[in-house]
Amino acid sequence: MKALTWIPATPADAVPLAALFRQAEAITPVGLDQRAENVRTRLAGLGPDLTRHTRVGLDGEGTVAAYAEVANMGVADGVLRIRLTAVAHPELGGDVRAELHRWLVDRAEQLRRAGGTAQAAMLGTRCAENDPAGCRLLTENGFTLVRHERDLVLAVPELPPAVGLPASLALEPVDERHQELARLAHNETYAQSPSALRPDQRTWPQHAIAHPQFLPDLSCLLLAQGGRDENPVAAFLFALADDDADEPTAILHCLGTRPSWRRRGLATAMILRALHRARSSGFRRLRLQVSDTNKPALALYQRIGFTESGRGYAVLMRQLGGPTAE
């Protein structure tokens, strides 16, 4: 294999990076963006300094053949979360992947130290289930498997089942009016999920209504009537269009019911409503990702009829620095 030339990414690399991501996804899927527009959004999300956060490998012809990215996902419970992404053209050898990995861990360490030498960091990365060499590289470098993300799909039926909602709840669109209440409900719902992001006010819009693929017609909030609760948002569903799919597909991107409202059919009602809306908007399929450790959600989706697409991946993590590190 010829040596690659390494340069930082620029927004202009979005098109060749999307092409590289598509090639990699066809063989070892880990849910990478496959459209240039989405890659551009991803690069913009890394902050203004792409020199510190990205690395693009060019082959002898100047074609983008490898990519590495270290992303600061914010501090949760005192621990800095850092997402590592390494993508190599399927024909490149293991030495390129090892080199990408070394660079990523080195950059992550710099990011951690920027928060002070005592700052603890948790590195997270993905590995395709059919990529034993990639997973081995990670485990040999101190990463441990924390979960599998299942990719589930459901064909939109000709006649979706009827939707029933408890009378005490009102269905509302997801818009500016309930932004903060929806954020608080979201963060309460995911409080027990160690891997879930709990967005602050600044990053929340990007999670839902300001997301470039947001689908307002399929998304909804369920609001409790009668004011027995400080926050009336009992449940929420945010849907996105799947730009990378080969047939019109909507993604159930974020779904939750606040603990005091669970097991009353709210999540089921929101998904069935999304199925109706998907049908009238021309979508042929619903898709979502769920961790294999999330038994309630798996039971919910299986009951509705979702099945595995085969595009799931493993999530691995490694602690860096901090008081409890070796």
Ligand X SMILES: CC(C)(COP(=O)(O)OP(=O)(O)OC[C@H]1O[C@@H](n2cnc3c(N)ncnc32)[C@H](O)[C@@H]1OP(=O)(O)O)[C@@H](O)C(=O)NCCC(=O)NCCS
Rg (CA), the chain: 21
User: Segment near ligand X (CB under 6 A), from 24-32, 140-148, 176-184, 290-298?
Assistant: 290-298
| 5, 58 contact by CB (below 8 A) | yes
| x/- track of binding to ligand X for residues 182-201 (CB under 6 A) | -------xx-----------
> Does 264 engage in binding with ligand X (CB under 6 A)?
yes
> Does 169 engage in binding with ligand X (CB under 6 A)?
no
> Rounded CA gap, 41 and 249, in Å?
20
**Three-state DSSP class for residue 9:** coil
User: Segment near ligand X (CB under 6 A), from 120-128, 204-212, 261-269, 309-317?
Assistant: 261-269
Q: Using CB under 6 A, which of 17, 182, 185, 267 touches ligand X? A: 267
> Rounded CA gap, 88 and 82, in Å?
20
Neighbours of 222 (CB within 10 A): 26
Query: Phi-psi bin for 33: left (phi > 0), alpha (psi -120 to 50), beta?
Result: beta
Q: What is the per-residue burial (b if ≥16 Cβ within 10 Å, else e) of 29-42?
A: bbbbbbbbebbbbb
Q: At its nearest, how many Å lie between ligand X and the CB of residue 81?
A: 18
> Does 256 engage in binding with ligand X (CB under 6 A)?
yes
User: Segment near ligand X (CB under 6 A), from 35-43, 105-113, 114-122, 260-268?
Assistant: 260-268
At 143, the amino acid letter reads F
> Does 297 engage in binding with ligand X (CB under 6 A)?
yes
**Three-state DSSP class for residue 270:** helix
| Cα-based angle 47, 52, 57 (whole degrees, multiple of 5) | 110
> Rounded CA gap, 31 and 91, in Å?
20
User: Segment near ligand X (CB under 6 A), from 103-111, 121-129, 273-281, 293-301?
Assistant: 293-301
Q: At its nearest, how many Å lie between ligand X and the CB of residue 242?
A: 15
Give the total of residues touching ligand X (CB under 6 A).
20
- Reference 148, options 29, 18, 20, 21; nearest CA is 29
Q: Using CB under 6 A, which of 91, 230, 303, 324 touches ligand X? A: 303
> Does 315 engage in binding with ligand X (CB under 6 A)?
no
Q: Using CB under 6 A, which of 87, 266, 272, 320 touches ligand X? A: 266
Q: Using CB under 6 A, which of 50, 255, 272, 274 touches ligand X? A: 255
Q: At its nearest, how many Å lie between ligand X and the CB of residue 288?
A: 6
Window 209 to 238, contacts with ligand X (CB under 6 A): 235
> Rounded CA gap, 195 and 83, in Å?
12
Neighbours of 171 (CB within 10 A): 14
> Rounded CA gap, 88 and 56, in Å?
10
User: Segment near ligand X (CB under 6 A), from 16-24, 129-137, 297-305, 307-315?
Assistant: 297-305
User: Segment near ligand X (CB under 6 A), from 40-48, 70-78, 176-184, 253-261?
Assistant: 253-261
Window 18 to 57, contacts with ligand X (CB under 6 A): none
At 1, the amino acid letter reads M
> Rounded CA gap, 9 and 16, in Å?
11
Residues at the site binding ligand X, with contacts judged by CB under 6 A: 189-190, 235, 255-257, 262-268, 290, 294, 296-297, 299-300, 303
